[in-house]
Chains A and B, each alone.
Chain A
Amino acid sequence: MNNIASILPEIFISLSIMFLLLLGVFKKNSSIIVHYCALASLLITGVLIFNESLNQNIMLFNDSYVVDKLSSYMKILTIIATAFVLSISTRYLKIFKIFLIEYPILILSSVLGMMVMISSNDLMVFYIGLELQSLALYVLASFNRDQLKSSESGLKYFVLSALSSGLLLYGCSLIYGFSGSTNFEIINNSMNSDNYGLTFGIVFILVGLAFKISAVPFHMWAPDVYEGSPTAVTLFFALVPKVAALTVFIRFLYVPFVSMIEQWQPILIFLSIASMIFGAIAAIGQSNLKRLIAYSSIGHMGYALAGLSVGSNEGIQSSIVYISIYLVMNLAFFSCLLMLKRNDEYFETIDDLSGLSKNHPILSLSLLIILFSLAGIPPLAGFFAKFYIFKAVIEQSMYFLAIVGLLSTVIAAFYYLKIIKVIYFDQEKDKYDDDHNIWLKASLTLSTLLILLYFIFPGQIVEVVSRINIL
């Protein structure tokens, strides 16, 4: 019974998925109800997780499922981000006539998958969670099925993701073969670091995970999928799956394979440096904002990985702080993107922002703050995110990584500045609509204020995260 009590949030969210499915099928025109019910069940799940987080490390189901500070924090992050996604995307879905019951239900099932991933302490459990979230994401990517680009992005995502899942599974089987177990703790105990089979297994799994968080050189799907999917889904893609994937990165590298750090550290450093540089350079030539934010998120994942590659608790914590701030910044950015609407038509290229500051001073000011924050200019939140990462990196004297990382922020600053230039220095175009729904306005205001005023109390989030000690 004890086991059941600890996975109450997961049980609750599964039950609500089934309930909402029934509700949607048997009641006509129920999308709005399903939508709000989904939101409510997310909030309840959030509260349940919060309650549960008071407990210390609990191992469940023969040590294959773990509930600890890391999992609670990341789950709450996932839930909050998803709740924002659900609440700000309604308008968009309605306009595109895809305001269907499937959207919230798919998102909830994806969230369930992520929660399983976050708590997994066993390769099998982890794989089940991963597939659950991915399957929901494939459907979501092609959610606007009448549109060619959306279907294309769904297919593309499915094919490439299936390939990476295959690699990942192969890695799992190698590790099982060479260590005799799929459980993280047991693998850790039976570790023999001279074993090349295990190293191969780690490499395959890292490739699969790198694909999920779109780290270079496994990033090819991201720009196309981000651009092709409906913005309401891109928003979800950009925010939520990264949290779960990053958690798995942390758990996978630091629980079973922490003693093999010499083997995986170079891989992680390579992934990190490649993502930072490639993300910064490739974004320069983009004209579509969704594509651009895809490259920008590739770069940002590079920084998060830099924190993970350090091999210390500070490094892990800095990555967690990074991903939290990244979520806020991207949420703010997408809220702005969803506001670029004129007569039921959405705009998503950089040129559409031209001269925005003359007609929409407040929206432009928010974008200015968000973009400078994404570029990592103090005193905005994005600077602190990078600051913690580099603090951890330099502590281990990894100066090369720090210098490359900071130089690529300068390159990245260039394309963020380009957008700001278009907003502030160029000629204005027609006015956009002002009748945004209250959720959208609230999420933009809240996230922008968080970014802007973060420097007043920079210690709060660090203090929460500093309780997460994996090593």
Chain B
Amino acid sequence: MNFPILSSLILLPVIGSLFLLFSKDKNSNTGKYVALFTSFVNFLISIYLWYQFDPTTSSFQFVEDREWLKGFINYKIGVDGISILFVVLTSFITPLCIISVNNSVKYRLRDFLIAILVMESLMIGVFCSLDLVIFYLFFEAGLIPMFLIIGIWGGTRRVYSAFKFFLYTLLGSVLMLIAIISIYWISGTTDITQLYELGIDSKYQNLLWLAFFSSFAVKTPMWPVHTWLPDAHVEAPTAGSVLLAAILLKMAGYGFIRFSLGLFPIASELFTPLVYILSLIAIVYTSLVALMQEDMKKLIAYSSVAHMGFVTLGIFTITQQGIEGSIFQMISHGLVSAALFLCVGIIYDRMHSRLIATYGGLVSVIPKYSILFMLFTLAALGLPGTSGFIGEFLILMGAFKDNFLVAVIASLGVIFGAAYMLWLYRRVVFGKIVNKDLLKMTDLDNSEKLILWSLAIPVLFFGFYPEPIINTIEVSVKDLIEMYNFNLNNIIAEVNN
């Protein structure tokens, strides 16, 4: 059990990208197979990791602890029930992204694959790190490949979007850096497990919470700092959008659970109304905005903001159901939004238009595509039997427990969600074929079928049988909430004395 399995998960994609970097051939398929092979091996390792994972304990497993900056920071990584699923999700989505480049990336394929693989390493690093500084390193470093992916392979306004993405997120994160260094001087360590035990002095918690919040709110993204997301999504190439929606956004949700709740219980309690209000605005407002979109990618991007609103709402209910629902929702949204972006990408590759008005009546031209698109549409709106339902249901259950009014308003969001997704589907797939060019469209090819089915199966499977996920996260979430309440009561008792 001493084999550094997490480090190998982090390192393997980088090694693969080095191979690509030093290969002579720039555009051949060999590079793609190398990348695919590496990421697939990584996926298998992560499945093995999940298989070996012991869900009956909330302590961190597969921990590696190495001296890094002497007497200051250790390279410490490990997973618990909350983070392991994100690792698996990352390593699952990446190979699909690599398969999808077939049609969408026309030039500099090798560089694209390098960027994707480096991105995978960094994202896995974010979810594994058990030290704030290490977390920050991975969290920020991810900006570099993503900036390039949007900027080099993006659409017409790619430069604007890439800059906006980079500067928004950087601005959010620098405050978090100050907070991390402050935590070091306040508590003497940045090791998360030690910080969980020590707790952080209550008089600093509010400011620190806000600093972390500024970073996570931009990354989630929460209203009103969500505007970078539609731009980034619209301009990014399909694989970039998929990574962005499926994994990058989850870093913030994960950060909220791991850091905001775990480290700053007093502040979390205090700021819960703020998060509730922002989440509700995100759910209702961005759903309405999504209704009005002409561009399919933009519509899905706004729907992502709304879904992440559910996630933040669920996290800050601080109930077993709410947090479990949020994690479930993040995993499910990772699969569903990835699939939706791929669906849009598939018809974009054929018609070179993302405008809804271009399409209509696709069902009679490309029926196989239409069926799968339908499945993901229904999953996005949370139909029972798909993974989308479980997450939303649990979150709303948690919310009802905590605050009735909030839950009612959030439920409205579910209705809006159904409205914009179904309307999108109706306009694109049903109706008469107005645009004659559509008749030339071909149905899914093998690689596209492979990608979409491999996303569809887990969506359905976890929709009917959520047990594997719930089982993995249950104990960790329970202990997190217990620790949260324990710390909270301790501090309140201290204040009362």
Residues of A bordering B, CB below 8 Å: 361, 372, 377-379, 383, 387, 390-391, 394-395, 399, 402-403, 406-407, 409-410, 413-414, 417, 420-421, 424-425, 455, 458-459, 462-463
* CB atoms of A425 and B68 under 8 A apart: no
Nearest residue (CB) in B for A422 is: B159
Contacts of B418 in A (CB 8 A): none
Which of B70, B177, B184 has the most CB atoms of chain A within a 10 A radius of its CB?
Answer: B177
* CB atoms of A459 and B68 under 8 A apart: yes
Asked whether B425 is an interface residue with its Cβ less than 8 Å from the other chain, the reply is no
Beyond the given A399-B182, A421-B162, A459-B68, could you list 5 further A-B residue pairs with CB under 8 A, ordered by the A residue number?
A394-B185, A409-B170, A462-B69, A462-B70, A463-B70
Contacts of A458 in B (CB 8 A): 68-69
Nearest residue (CB) in B for A364 is: B111
Contacts of B143 in A (CB 8 A): 377
Q: How far is the CB of B122 from chain A (nearest CB, A)?
A: 9
Q: List 6 A-B contacts (CB under 8 A).
A: A361-B111, A379-B137, A414-B167, A421-B159, A425-B151, A425-B159
The CA-CA distance from A98 to B68 in the complex, in Å, is 47
The CA-CA distance from A406 to B68 in the complex, in Å, is 24
Q: How far is the CB of A390 from chain B (nearest CB, A)?
A: 6
The CA-CA distance from A402 to B180 in the complex, in Å, is 12
The CA-CA distance from A459 to B170 in the complex, in Å, is 25
Q: How far is the CB of B34 from chain A (nearest CB, A)?
A: 17
Given A379-B141, A455-B137: A390 and B163 interface contact (C-beta under 8 Å): no
Question: How would residues 125 to 137 of chain B score, 1 for a CB under 8 Å from any chain A CB and 0 otherwise?
Answer: 0000000010011
* CB atoms of A394 and B178 under 8 A apart: yes
Given A372-B144, A378-B137, A455-B137: A421 and B174 interface contact (C-beta under 8 Å): no
Contacts of A390 in B (CB 8 A): 177-178, 181
The CA-CA distance from A402 to B137 in the complex, in Å, is 18
Nearest residue (CB) in B for A411 is: B167
Nearest residue (CB) in A for B176 is: A406
The CA-CA distance from A387 to B190 in the complex, in Å, is 14
The CA-CA distance from A403 to B175 in the complex, in Å, is 7
Contacts of A413 in B (CB 8 A): 166-167, 170
Q: How far is the CB of A298 from chain B (nearest CB, A)?
A: 20
Question: Chain B: interface secondary structure?
Answer: helix
The CA-CA distance from A394 to B111 in the complex, in Å, is 39
* CB atoms of B170 and A410 under 8 A apart: yes
Asked whether B457 is an interface residue with its Cβ less than 8 Å from the other chain, the reply is no
Q: How far is the CB of B450 from chain A (nearest CB, A)?
A: 31
Asked whether B124 is an interface residue with its Cβ less than 8 Å from the other chain, the reply is no
Given A378-B136, A425-B158: A391 and B184 interface contact (C-beta under 8 Å): yes
Nearest residue (CB) in B for A462 is: B69
* CB atoms of B171 and A410 under 8 A apart: yes
The CA-CA distance from A361 to B158 in the complex, in Å, is 21
The CA-CA distance from A390 to B152 in the complex, in Å, is 33
**Contact check: which of B147, B152, B171 meets A417 at CB < 8 Å?**
B147
The CA-CA distance from A387 to B144 in the complex, in Å, is 18
The CA-CA distance from A395 to B186 in the complex, in Å, is 9
* CB atoms of B178 and A403 under 8 A apart: yes
Given A395-B185, A406-B174: A424 and B152 interface contact (C-beta under 8 Å): yes
Contacts of A462 in B (CB 8 A): 69-70
* CB atoms of A377 and B144 under 8 A apart: yes
Contacts of A463 in B (CB 8 A): 70
The CA-CA distance from A47 to B158 in the complex, in Å, is 52
Asked whether B140 is an interface residue with its Cβ less than 8 Å from the other chain, the reply is yes
**Nearest 8 A-B pairs (CB), nearest first?**
A406-B174, A378-B137, A394-B181, A378-B140, A459-B70, A410-B171, A379-B137, A425-B151
The CA-CA distance from A361 to B26 in the complex, in Å, is 11
The CA-CA distance from A406 to B176 in the complex, in Å, is 10
Chain B stretch 189-248: residues in CB contact (< 8 A) with chain A: none
Contacts of B148 in A (CB 8 A): 424
Q: How far is the CB of B134 from chain A (nearest CB, A)?
A: 10
Nearest residue (CB) in A for B174 is: A406
Nearest residue (CB) in B for A406 is: B174
Nearest residue (CB) in B for A466 is: B70
Given A372-B144, A395-B185, A458-B69: A425 and B174 interface contact (C-beta under 8 Å): no
Contacts of A394 in B (CB 8 A): 178, 181-182, 185
Contacts of B178 in A (CB 8 A): 390, 394, 399, 402-403, 406
Which of B70, B174, B181 has the most CB atoms of chain A within a 10 A radius of its CB?
Answer: B174
The CA-CA distance from A459 to B68 in the complex, in Å, is 7
Given A406-B177, A409-B174, A424-B148: A377 and B159 interface contact (C-beta under 8 Å): no
Nearest residue (CB) in A for B179 is: A394
The CA-CA distance from A414 to B167 in the complex, in Å, is 7
* CB atoms of A410 and B174 under 8 A apart: yes
* CB atoms of B163 and A406 under 8 A apart: no
Nearest residue (CB) in B for A457 is: B68
**Contact check: which of A377, A403, A409 meets B141 at CB < 8 Å?**
A377
The CA-CA distance from A152 to B358 in the complex, in Å, is 62
Q: How far is the CB of B496 from chain A (nearest CB, A)?
A: 28
Nearest residue (CB) in A for B152 is: A424
Contacts of A409 in B (CB 8 A): 170, 174
The CA-CA distance from A407 to B177 in the complex, in Å, is 11
The CA-CA distance from A143 to B208 in the complex, in Å, is 53
Nearest residue (CB) in A for B70 is: A459
The CA-CA distance from A399 to B143 in the complex, in Å, is 25
Contacts of B144 in A (CB 8 A): 372, 377
Q: How far is the CB of A373 from chain B (nearest CB, A)?
A: 10
Nearest residue (CB) in A for B170 is: A410
* CB atoms of B163 and A414 under 8 A apart: yes
Q: How far is the CB of A409 from chain B (nearest CB, A)?
A: 6
Nearest residue (CB) in B for A414 is: B167
Nearest residue (CB) in B for A460 is: B70
Q: How far is the CB of B92 from chain A (nearest CB, A)?
A: 25
Q: How far is the CB of B283 from chain A (nearest CB, A)?
A: 30
The CA-CA distance from A173 to B238 in the complex, in Å, is 69
